[in-house]
């Protein structure tokens, strides 16, 4: 089915639907009504219907949702079955945490390289990979054609590293380096700030106190 242009706000709900459906499958729950799904997700049933309608529905009258199918379809929409090759640049504290805890394989990504410009770190192990010298990144990208780069370098380095990677053919950047990178034609960027979530928590706590 041809997809309509999906608003960002809808797309941003998909990972949460996907995670929730994943949990249901682990509990061997294969069917869920829209009201139950809405109750569990804290989203109205009509919101869920509207969201899913962007992708062709998925529900069946009187049956609710087929969890396996929905999980599979949302995973496909999120591009989780493409085995996208991914690299990390910056093998410091955050680079290590991301390499060790992101569970790339389970989410359908292949972590194929980790790079740093600190010669003392080159050659060390991180997850099941060996840290490579950032000097060799052009050859690596040309040989392996990764799509995604995760940036965990200091903020002073992020712009030049991003420009270099984009010029070498990287199409997607997951940027943790606190400096926002601007969108560019044919390149997608997600700037991540863990502290945004902490500030949201503080905001909710304030509202609770009022």
Q: Which residues are annotated as a binding site for NAD(+)?
A: 90-95
Closer by beta carbon to ligand NAD, 76 or else 199: 199
Smallest gap from Cβ 163 to ligand NAD, in A, equals 11
Smallest gap from Cβ 84 to ligand NAD, in A, equals 21
Angle in degrees, CA 180, 181, 185, rounded to 5: 150
Closer by beta carbon to ligand NAD, 21 or else 165: 165
C-alpha to C-alpha distance for 120 and 133, rounded to whole angstroms: 10
Residue whose Cβ sits closest to ligand NAD: 92
Closer by beta carbon to ligand NAD, 6 or else 192: 192
Binding site, annotated residues = 90-95
Give the DSSP letter string of 169-209.
T--EEEE-SSSPPPPBTTBEEEE--HHHHHHHHHHHHHHHH
| Binding residues for ligand NAD (CB under 6 A) | 89-95, 115-118, 121, 134, 152-155, 157, 161, 176-178, 192-195
Smallest gap from Cβ 101 to ligand NAD, in A, equals 13
Closer by beta carbon to ligand NAD, 81 or else 178: 178
Give the DSSP letter string of 61-118.
TTTEEEHHHHHHHHHHHTTTTS-EEEEEE--SHHHHHHHHHS-TTTTTEEEEEEEES-
Smallest gap from Cβ 109 to ligand NAD, in A, equals 19
C-alpha to C-alpha distance for 153 and 170, rounded to whole angstroms: 16
């Amino acid at each position: 089915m041809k997809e309509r242009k999906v608003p960002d706000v809808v797309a941003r709900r998909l990972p949460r639907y996907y995670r929730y459906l994943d949990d249901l499958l682990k509990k061997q729950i294969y069917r869920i009504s829209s009201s139950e799904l809405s109750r569990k997700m804290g989203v109205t049933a009509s919101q869920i219907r509207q969201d899913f309608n962007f992708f062709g529905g998925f529900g069946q009258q009187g049956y609710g949702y087929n969890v396996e199918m929905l999980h599979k379809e949302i995973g496909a929409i999120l591009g989780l079955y493409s085995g996208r090759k991914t690299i990390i640049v910056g093998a410091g504290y955050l680079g290590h945490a991301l390499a060790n805890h992101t569970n790339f394989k389970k989410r359908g990504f292949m972590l194929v390289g980790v790079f740093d410009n600190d010669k003392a770190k080159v050659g060390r192990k991180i997850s099941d990979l060996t840290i490579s010298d950032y000097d060799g990144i052009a050859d690596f990208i040309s040989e392996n054609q990764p799509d995604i780069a995760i940036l965990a370098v200091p903020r002073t380095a992020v712009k030049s590293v991003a420009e270099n990677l984009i010029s070498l053919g990287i199409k997607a950047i997951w940027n943790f380096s606190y400096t926002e990178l601007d969108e560019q034609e044919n390149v997608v960027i997600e700037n991540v700030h863990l502290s945004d979530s902490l500030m949201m928590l503080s905001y909710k706590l304030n509202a609770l106190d009022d």
